[in-house]
Structure 1
Amino acid sequence: MKSIIFIETTKSGSSREAIKTADRLGFYTVLFTERPNFMAKREEFPDVHFMKLCDLSDMNVLQKEVKALILKGIEVSAIVSYVDPHSYTACTLADHFNLNHFSTEGMKNIQNKIQSRELLKNSSVTPEYWTVVTKAECKELEPKIKNKFPLVMKSPKSTGSKDVYKVGNLIEYRKRYNTLSTLYENQPILIEEYLPEPQYLVEVVVHKGKVHIMAIIKQDIQYNRRFIVMGYKLLLNPGVRFSNGLMKAIKEIVAKHGLETGPCHLELRRKGNQWKLIEINARISGAGMNNMIKAAYGINLVEEMLKMALGNDPDLTPKFQKNVYMQYVTVEKKGTLEKVTGKRKALASQGVVEVYVKPRKGSVITPPLSMGHRYAYVTAVGNTAIEAEANAKKAAAEIQFWIKESPKEKITTVIQ
């Protein structure tokens, strides 16, 4: 019985799509998870054939669990992860059993945000940055940065915009240092140049040293205490100069990290004619990204990544091209969710290809302090980019969250 082992998943999005794809392809799917609630709601994962609760940070435990499966006669064909920070863990585990087809060292370099910056410190793609650990180092840095505000401060371990702050002066800088050093004791803190230019998400596949740009997406970022991406606009034809400059930057970034084979996504901003790397992650983006790319190009990217993990060549050729926009929904007040209305109406709206609502009745929902506080999204196509965006935003406006504290108030997305 051929199987694929997945190191962690989310309830929906790219990581779950990968498991469903493996199930559809006829593999025995195994999930190693550290989420007890997944075990408690086992019936919600029919596509997972075997689920095991274990410590994903303990490589000895993971090796033991894989060996136990092999002793049962299960043929392990691949070990993968589509979830931060487990891509490197999956590669290391796959290496131990001679199953890995991705670049382990590249995954390791990408996962460590400070190492990532250090590898590119002499490159023009790197924004100005500093690291501090102690309060003394924080104080010593002040003369160097006092005329460089605004800046961005974050923990290298942060994901989904959690614990990422924009600081406008030394007072805010000291305050956020105290916040981050308390949350991440004795851990380095990254301080980076703030770039006001538009941000782009670029989905990339590297196969045998060749870089393939799978999608270029302009992000609509709103800042209110945190950086939250509310909209994703896929760029079908960004222009030759734009594309060539972007490809040159990405090839340099990928090479410096040592990624010969594997997926990654990058967030970049264009300062003048120079691309600047904000962040790189060693996996396809989560949430609705796989389905967005599928709607735009007819490519199931998680399936092609599974092919690569199995040692096969992926098919990365677009089947068609469509304008696509994905709009997220947040709430304006904290409260207990009583009901959600408008999902069916949103799904029936013009151009809509997917509607996803995350929370269930009884969940506590809150205004966004991280990307995890986005509670729904709508993906729509259109004859033009403008039409696709309008379709997605119109449909998203149909989705309304009703919270206990304000039963007569409709809480919906902020469309800008």
Structure 2
Amino acid sequence: MARALIILGGTTMGSGLLYVQTAQRLGLQPITLSADPTRYDHFAAKGAETIRVDTDDLDALIRECSRLRATYDIAGITSAADSFYATVGKLCRHFDLPGPNPEAIEQCLDKYTQRQLLAASGVPIPAYRLAANAADVEDSAAEIGLPVVVKPVVGSGSVGVRLCRTADEVVQHTIHLLGGTHIGRSSPRILVEEFAQGPLCVAEIMGKEVIGISTLDFGPPPHFVYHENTYPAVLTDEEHERISDISLSCLRALGLGWGPTNIELRWTKRGPIVIEVNPRLSGSPGPQMVKLASGIDLVAEHIKLAIGGNVNLRRRRSQTAAAQFLVPDRDGILDWIDGASPAASVPGVAEVKFYINSQTPIVRKGDYRDCIGYVIAASPTLEQSKAILRHALDLIHWSITPLRTNGQSDSKSI
């Protein structure tokens, strides 16, 4: 009987595909359960099995997993997305498999509850307020002081997150959130936060061990769209220790410590401030960069943990990885994009990924969905990796026909 790994849901832009491919490399049959398989990029992976099932219905998931047990030895159940991770924990409990604590995951995914628990444990976080309507948001912004970050209580990938510098921007974004689909299934709740200014660091954790820390840079405000990523971060020993200590305090405060966690912090004038705790691995290309720089395959180690195997988090190499996200600067129709092969052939380039093809509409959202690809380079030093990256990016070009124009094409080269 073949051993199978159940992967619940999926994530776009690479992470789900990493789990499928890594499961296959470990000798497991990946079986993905999803309510909408067409949304994800990894279901076309050769040899992967996909089953349509309502991922919001725990009983339906239990029935499907029970049915699969007649054909497969289900070695483990996991997910690449934190939105499914609490359900993963419940399924693991039902089938007596290793898995995360679903109650801890659920309280972590509620950003307001997460802030309360962190604050109660003395973890440094931005000033924050919970708001249920436009008046609450305006009052909260006035109490905290502009500029503020306004975001949904539930969500990921910077969806619905905006920096508001004026009272008018606060009102406009609140109207946008309350009138849209960003809030999720629960009652409309909005978090208003102090804007913590400083470099963004992300601690990558497996279990209760800090594997490493990366730095990320955003594009222009008011949105929070990643443009660059470097691993490991250039930090002093003291800075690394402070971030690690605070990150482990977050795990204790939230009841986490099984499986992957990534913690976003801003290094402010007050020192490290925790922006968000996510009970999952960072999205692509984060896991690839950790593997390139240290030899630690976080996806593989997470899967090993899920199937009750032996985890090896020993560093095997010491390199520096740098990545740049490909982000268009306008809406329109992508006429063409090329340069992947020449860029990938540059010595030191580890991966070139395009998420979209020619003739694809581009409508920027101000979140992770704006990214149309990335390039990763790795070498012994940060300076060398960035030089390799610049060389590769010079070979990538695209053309976008703007919307509502006379059809004239504008070319864009990174």
Q: TM-score, normalised by structure 2?
A: 0.91
What's 1:19 paired with? 20
Q: Secondary structure at the match of 1:31?
A: strand
Quick one: which of 397, 401, 411 aligns to 1:400?
397
Quick one: which of 140, 152, 155 aligns to 1:155?
152
Deviations 1:18-43 (A, max 9, x none): 1111112221221101224269x998
Q: Give the conservation status (yes or no) of the 8 Å contact 2:124–2:272.
A: yes
Q: Give the conservation status (yes or no) of the 8 Å contact 2:88–2:100.
A: no
Task: Tell me the CA shift for residue 138 of structure 1.
Answer: 3.3
What's 2:359 paired with? 362
Output the CA distance in 2 between the equivalents of 1:165 and 1:387. 34
What's 2:44 paired with? 44
Task: Tell me the CA shift for residue 273 of structure 1.
Answer: 5.1
Distance 1:42 1:186, change over 3 A: closer
Distance 1:386 1:19, change over 3 A: same
What's 2:29 paired with? 28
Q: Secondary structure at the match of 2:256?
A: coil
Instruction: Tell me if 1:7 matches 2:8.
Output: yes
Q: Give the conservation status (yes or no) of the 8 Å contact 1:162–1:226.
A: no
Amino acid in structure 2 at the alignment position of 1:82: A
Task: Tell me the CA shift for residue 213 of structure 1.
Answer: 1.5
Q: Which moved more, 1:30-39 or 1:250-259?
A: 30-39
Distance 1:98 1:331, change over 3 A: same
Distance 1:292 1:126, change over 3 A: same
Quick one: which of 223, 246, 250 aligns to 1:249?
246
Deviations 1:134-183 (A, max 9, x none): 344335435523xx111100002232112101111222222222221222
Task: Tell me the CA shift for residue 77 of structure 1.
Answer: 1.3
Task: Tell me the CA shift for residue 353 of structure 1.
Answer: 0.9
Q: Secondary structure at the match of 1:127?
A: coil
Q: Give the conservation status (yes or no) of the 8 Å contact 2:98–2:305.
A: no
Task: Tell me the CA shift for residue 410 of structure 1.
Answer: 2.0
Task: Tell me the CA shift for residue 377 of structure 1.
Answer: 0.6
What's 2:199 paired with? 198
Task: Tell me the CA shift for residue 404 of structure 1.
Answer: 4.2
Instruction: Tell me if 1:311 matches 2:312.
Output: no
Q: Secondary structure at the match of 1:57?
A: coil
Q: Secondary structure at the match of 1:89?
A: helix
Q: Give the conservation status (yes or no) of the 8 Å contact 1:218–1:233.
A: yes
Quick one: which of 107, 118, 121 aligns to 1:120?
118
Distance 1:43 1:284, change over 3 A: closer
Q: TM-score, normalised by structure 1?
A: 0.91
Runs of 4+ with deviation above 3 angstroms = 138-143, 404-409
What's 2:323 paired with? 326
Alignment of 1:190-269 (within 5 A): 190-206=191-207, 211-235=208-232, 238-269=235-266
Quick one: which of 359, 364, 374 aligns to 2:371?
374
Quick one: which of 79, 103, 110 aligns to 1:81?
79
Same amino acid, percent of matched pairs: 23
Q: Give the conservation status (yes or no) of the 8 Å contact 1:15–1:286.
A: no
Task: Tell me the CA shift for residue 342 of structure 1.
Answer: 1.0
Unmatched 5+ residue regions in structure 2? none
Amino acid in structure 1 at the alignment position of 2:161: V
What's 1:341 paired with? 338
Q: Give the conservation status (yes or no) of the 8 Å contact 1:326–1:378.
A: yes
Q: Give the conservation status (yes or no) of the 8 Å contact 1:32–1:51.
A: yes
Alignment of 1:145-184 (within 5 A): 145=144, 148-183=145-180, 184=183
Task: Tell me the CA shift for residue 326 of structure 1.
Answer: 0.6
Unmatched 5+ residue regions in structure 1? none
Q: Secondary structure at the match of 2:179?
A: helix
Q: Secondary structure at the match of 2:219?
A: strand
Output the CA distance in 2 between the equivalents of 1:97 and 1:295. 35
Amino acid in structure 2 at the alignment position of 1:102: P
Instruction: Tell me if 1:102 matches 2:107.
Output: no
Task: Tell me the CA shift for residue 236 of structure 1.
Answer: 5.8
Amino acid in structure 1 at the alignment position of 2:103: E
Distance 1:306 1:168, change over 3 A: same
Q: Give the conservation status (yes or no) of the 8 Å contact 1:204–1:212.
A: yes
Deviations 1:351-407 (A, max 9, x none): 211111110122112446211111111100233212212221331232112234567
Q: Which moved more, 1:330-339 or 1:286-295?
A: 330-339
